[in-house]
């Protein structure tokens, strides 16, 4: 089965520079997201799946938040790395996220699951880059709109004061 994503080598400076330009990131932001999401994998609690995931997100205010997957013996209770990172950001007052990075131990890289994609949608513009790193730090990038087409977001809901009869 062929990969649905183009894997880009992180060692190719010209391609990394092009990625940064296309997705509105500085080289420093890209590098920091990479470093943090890879490091976050080591904090994963995954005794059942043995599938480590690390995530790092960058707020529009320039703050980084990291997370790792946390499993539970009652499988549905586990939490994905992305939602851990977003939970940390939101509880610290950062509700607008500029970019999301995810790292796994497989190749090609894994993309956020459906639940995480919807969770990301709550706090990111549809143009936000989702950077996915594989076991060798090769990466692919997609905009949220590509990972969650025809999405449902907060703007689809009526204002909190408005009630329907």
DSSP assignment of 82-99 equals: HHHHHHHHHHTT---EEE
Neighbours of 108 (CB within 10 A): 18
**Phi-psi category of residue 24: left, alpha or beta, with phi > 0 → left and psi -120 to 50 → alpha:** left
Task: Show the tokens assigned to 103.
Answer: 């790292």
Which residues, listed in sequence order, are joined to residue 79 by a DSSP beta bridge?
70
Residues near 127 by beta carbon (within 8 Å), at least 6 away in sequence? 143, 144, 145
- 């990972």: which residue's tokens? 147
Torsion angle (degrees, nearest 10) of CA 54, 129, 61, 116: -50
Residues with catalytic roles: 82
Helix, strand or coil, per DSSP, at residue 61: coil
Neighbours of 136 (CB within 10 A): 13
């Amino acid at each position: 089965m062929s990969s649905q994503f183009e894997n880009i080598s992180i060692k190719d400076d010209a391609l990394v520079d092009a990625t940064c330009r296309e997705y509105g990131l500085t080289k420093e932001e890209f590098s920091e997201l990479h470093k943090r999401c890879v490091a976050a994998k080591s904090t994963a609690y995954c005794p059942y799946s043995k599938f480590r995931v690390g995530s790092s997100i960058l707020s529009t205010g320039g703050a980084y938040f990291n997370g790792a997957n946390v499993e539970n013996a009652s499988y549905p209770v586990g939490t994905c790395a992305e939602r851990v990172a977003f939970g940390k950001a939101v509880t610290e007052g950062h509700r607008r996220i500029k970019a999301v990075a995810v790292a796994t131990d497989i190749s090609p890289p894994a993309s956020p699951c459906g639940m995480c994609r919807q969770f990301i949608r709550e706090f990111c513009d549809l143009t936000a880059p989702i950077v996915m790193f594989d076991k060798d730090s090769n990466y692919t990038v997609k905009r949220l709109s590509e990972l969650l087409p025809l999405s449902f977001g907060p703007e689809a809901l009526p204002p909190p004061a408005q009630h329907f009869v």
